[in-house]
Structure 1
């Protein structure tokens, strides 16, 4: 039988990359950590870590076991919540979200949740997907409103955090990125733009991931963008555009509230798109989670049906 405590220790080793750092985090000695890992390997009949002078890395068997450790941790947290509900009669639900998606989709969905389950104790925490998705996997939050660009869901710190580690991903909507320019810009009256047409423009962007995404697309278009500013807020980035610092690349759901004097122009396909969805584990026996996911889906559908075209969007006074 596999010892759950040894799985917890292996997960810490994977996260920290060494026995010493894992021991510090777990308040154990490095020798104790090493012994637990060795005992786990004996019980499995397989090596789970490769040891070297630079630390330890997971073997294929180790990656499988860390994924199992994440699932076990989530199930134990779920069981703790069920026991808590039995003793208090109330269900605690923790929701993680990124800023722009939470502002657009979450409030009305939470209202519906509370109407269906009025005794729910809600907690909301803000964070980017690379931080919140691992929290879902560990059971620290019940679900996360998140997004990803091209490719799989973002990995968090440490192995076992890819999209195949137990997450149920429910797609909600596609969120194309648009170019934001001053209304007097030479390209502001265009119906759509090729990214290559913007090769000579300076950029101010709303987050570091958007910059990385822009650079990837710009490389395909044959230029290296000049980025003059990167903020942590799309509204601030658009304010800098209005101040004449350059142009920006902004997801469609972050285009409100409008700022006077700006125009928004879509990028011709294939353009950059964010894929927004909700991640959870074990929804089948969790009616509160199921209700909230369904409410988020309905909010996304209403957004899709009622969204006015962003083409040549005006923000004039």
Structure 2
């Protein structure tokens, strides 16, 4: 029999990368954490972590057990909510979301959820995709609107993960220029054409993406503005501080003082979807929310600017 507490300790070690930090988070001593992990390894007959001066890393067996720990935690959280519902007659439903996606997709979807299931108490948590997906895996939220950039869907392809992902829409990144910029009337732009321009960034993920594309084009972008808000970034572009690379749904409707120009294909894009705990996809509340989000995503496609706004 595998001890649930030992799984909880291993999950904390994986999350924090060291016994000391895991001990602090769990309010245990590092020695107690080490003993829990050692006992788990004895019960399994194999190592679950590799210890080094740089910290702790999971072995393949450790990755499997952390996945099991997250599934167990999610099931226990779900069970607790069901017990609470029996006592109060009300269902608590929590959704995590990133800001721009939540702004356009969630209001209508949540209105349909509460209309279809009266008495549901809905909670919304703002969270970036990495955190949101972690919350889903741990059962801390019932669903998460998240995104990933070009590449595989969240999780490891070909391997069972504790998250079910439903794609909603592709969200291409567009160039945003001051309205008087000489290239503002173009139908499309290659990022390399703006190599000499100063840049304004709307989030750290966009910065990493921009630098990757700029490196392919052979230049290093000069960054003059860094924000975590796309609307603020657009206002800086309108003021002439630089140009920016911003997802389409953050440009609906287009802000004043700027021009939106698509990136020449193949352009960068982020892929928006909804994640739910594996095995919960057929839950009535989840089914209602995912269906509503699909409808909202279809409507958003008619709002996002598909060509230059001039």
Range into which the TM-score falls when normalised by the shorter chain:
over 0.9
Question: Any gaps of 5 or more consecutive residues in structure 1?
Answer: none
Counterpart of 2:220?
A: 224
Offset at 1:42?
1.2
1:186-265 to structure 2, matched below 5 A, reads 186-265=182-261
Q: Per the alignment, do residues 209 and 309 of structure 1 end up closer, same or farther by CA in structure 2, a change over 3 Å counting?
A: closer
Counterpart of 1:291?
A: 288
Offset at 1:67?
1.1
Q: Per the alignment, do residues 30 and 202 of structure 1 end up closer, same or farther by CA in structure 2, a change over 3 Å counting?
A: same
Question: Any gaps of 5 or more consecutive residues in structure 2?
Answer: none
Is the Cα contact below 8 Å between 2:175 and 2:262 reproduced in 1?
yes
1:87 aligns to what SS in structure 2?
helix
Question: Matched residues in 2 for 1:259 and 1:232: separation?
Answer: 17
Structure 1 stretch displaced more, 276-285 or 140-149: 276-285
Q: Per the alignment, do residues 230 and 164 of structure 1 end up closer, same or farther by CA in structure 2, a change over 3 Å counting?
A: farther
- Asked if 1:270 is matched to 2:266, the reply is yes
Question: Matched residues in 1 for 2:15 and 2:178: separation?
Answer: 45
1:88-167 to structure 2, matched below 5 A, reads 88-152=88-152, 165-167=161-163
Is the Cα contact below 8 Å between 1:129 and 1:154 reproduced in 2?
no
Offset at 1:154?
6.2
Q: Per the alignment, do residues 222 and 234 of structure 1 end up closer, same or farther by CA in structure 2, a change over 3 Å counting?
A: same
Question: Matched residues in 2 for 1:262 and 1:56: separation?
Answer: 48
1:93 aligns to what SS in structure 2?
strand
- Asked if 1:52 is matched to 2:46, the reply is no
Q: Per the alignment, do residues 258 and 53 of structure 1 end up closer, same or farther by CA in structure 2, a change over 3 Å counting?
A: closer
Q: Per the alignment, do residues 309 and 17 of structure 1 end up closer, same or farther by CA in structure 2, a change over 3 Å counting?
A: closer
Offset at 1:283?
2.0
Q: How many residues align?
A: 308
1:170 aligns to what SS in structure 2?
strand
2:181 aligns to what SS in structure 1?
coil
1:86 aligns to what SS in structure 2?
helix
1:313 aligns to what SS in structure 2?
coil
- Structure 1 stretches of 4+ with a deviation exceeding 3 A read 152-155, 307-310
Question: Matched residues in 2 for 1:213 and 1:176: separation?
Answer: 12
Counterpart of 1:15?
A: 15
Counterpart of 2:299?
A: 302
- Measured on the aligned residues, the alpha-carbon RMSD in Å equals 1.8
Which digits, 9 at most, give the CA deviation of each residue in 1:238-277, with x for residues without a partner?
A: 1001101011111110113433332111011110101000
2:272 aligns to what SS in structure 1?
strand
- Asked if 1:178 is matched to 2:170, the reply is no
Counterpart of 2:24?
A: 24
Question: Matched residues in 2 for 1:234 and 1:164: separation?
Answer: 35
Question: Matched residues in 2 for 1:64 and 1:146: separation?
Answer: 24
Question: Matched residues in 1 for 2:160 and 2:262: separation?
Answer: 33
Is the Cα contact below 8 Å between 1:183 and 1:261 reproduced in 2?
yes
Q: What is the TM-score normalised by the length of structure 1?
A: 0.92
Q: Per the alignment, do residues 207 and 164 of structure 1 end up closer, same or farther by CA in structure 2, a change over 3 Å counting?
A: farther
Question: Matched residues in 2 for 1:308 and 1:76: separation?
Answer: 40
Counterpart of 1:80?
A: 80
Which digits, 9 at most, give the CA deviation of each residue in 1:128-184, with x for residues without a partner?
A: 1122111111111111101111234568xxxx9xx9531101000000011111221
Is the Cα contact below 8 Å between 1:145 and 1:276 reproduced in 2?
yes
